[in-house]
Structure 1
Amino acid sequence: MATPEEKLAELGLTVPDVVPPVAAYVPAVRSGERVYTSGQLPMRDGALITTGKVGGTVSPEDAYDCARQCALNAIAAIRSMAGDLSQVRIVKVVAFIASTPDFTGQPGVANGASELFAEVFGDAGVHARSAVGVPVLPLDAPVEVEVIAEIGGVG
């Protein structure tokens, strides 16, 4: 069975460096067997991959890609606490989507994160989830994702 890192490599992805905080918080905290991530923005190489509102200047497809990048950044934050990704189970995902008032496709955008977790972790990546439309996010990001993971909950 392939490890999460091997599955990422099959997808042409690697775990990035943990994104540094943009304010007074840490990227993740471990409490017992749980890791709680801070909200992860769609940062790549130190910058947001896009800005704006979904349903406005950001397409649902681009927002899906943003949610996927947020999930990859969450994986980095989780690994910084857990060490070994093969011991990780994704328990809960909350996706915040900065969107226009008439946009109602938040669940499809959040699938960018959810589908990546399932691809990388298999059954241990299937999780409970909320997808919430909001008026604005930090730095004008279109998507922010936070995760609760369990360490040692696989198997």
Structure 2
Amino acid sequence: MTAVEARLAELGITLPDVAAPVATYVPAVRSGSYVYTSGQLPFVDGALPEAGKVGVGDGLVTPEAAAGYARQCALNALAAVKALTGSLDDVARIVKVVGFVASDPAFTGQPGVINGASTVLGEVFGEAGVHARSAVGVAVLPLDSPVEVELIVELKS
């Protein structure tokens, strides 16, 4: 068991299988010592756990649920990185997280939602998980997903 795999087990996290692309792209690409993931939706066993806009009120995805979905997006992105590189122990640091939140027009809590991704990356990688970040509210995401997250990861070699 690798060091990162041991840390994941300690946290009770099992990386999912790499999510199948929903269009014409690959889950991750390596360029030099960097891996760029495609935007990852919060798929669990191949399906979205919930669809719709994030906000406060009836018929909206709660910010708390959306933060959990952002966490799942980050784990899906890590699965894509691992599939490409063979091991998460090759990660030198998480450089940047870009998070998109399909938001009700009155909702302004996108940073709190994307904290779901940032927090789990810090838990897994410690100081190497501290990253730059964007949290962007958008009108709609693919498949009516409430969140989407992409990563830029620097590798050790």
TM-score under structure 2 length normalisation:
0.93
State the match for 1:19 in structure 2.
Answer: 19
Q: How far, CA to CA, are the matches of 1:106 and 1:69 in structure 2?
A: 16
Q: How far, CA to CA, are the matches of 1:4 and 1:101 in structure 2?
A: 39
State the match for 2:61 in structure 1.
Answer: 58
**8 A contact 1:65–1:112 mirrored in 2:** yes
The structure 2 residue matched to 1:123, chosen from 120, 123, 127, is 127
Structure 2 residues without counterparts, runs of 5 or longer: none
CA offset digits 1:120-152 (Å, max 9, x no partner):
011111100000000000000000000000110
Q: How far, CA to CA, are the matches of 1:141 and 1:125 in structure 2?
A: 25
TM-score under structure 1 length normalisation:
0.94
Superposed structure 1 runs of 4+ greater than 4 Å apart: none
Structure 1 residues without counterparts, runs of 5 or longer: none
The structure 1 residue matched to 2:146, chosen from 142, 149, 154, is 142
What are the equivalent positions in structure 2 for 1:3-152 lying under 5 Å apart?
A: 3-55=3-55, 57-88=60-91, 89-152=93-156
Q: Which region of structure 1 is more displaced relative to structure 2, 106-115 or 144-153?
A: 144-153
Deviation at 1:87, TM superposition (A): 2.0
AA in 1 matched with 2:5:
E
CA RMSD between the two structures: 1.2
**8 A contact 1:5–1:15 mirrored in 2:** no
CA offset digits 1:75-122 (Å, max 9, x no partner):
000111221212211100000000101101000000000000000011
SS of residue paired to 1:96: strand
Q: How far, CA to CA, are the matches of 2:131 and 2:4 in structure 1?
A: 16
Q: How far, CA to CA, are the matches of 1:49 and 1:34 in structure 2?
A: 30
Q: How far, CA to CA, are the matches of 1:103 and 1:9 in structure 2?
A: 35
Deviation at 1:43, TM superposition (A): 0.1
SS of residue paired to 1:100: coil
Q: Percent identity?
A: 68
Q: How many residues are matched?
A: 152
SS of residue paired to 1:43: coil
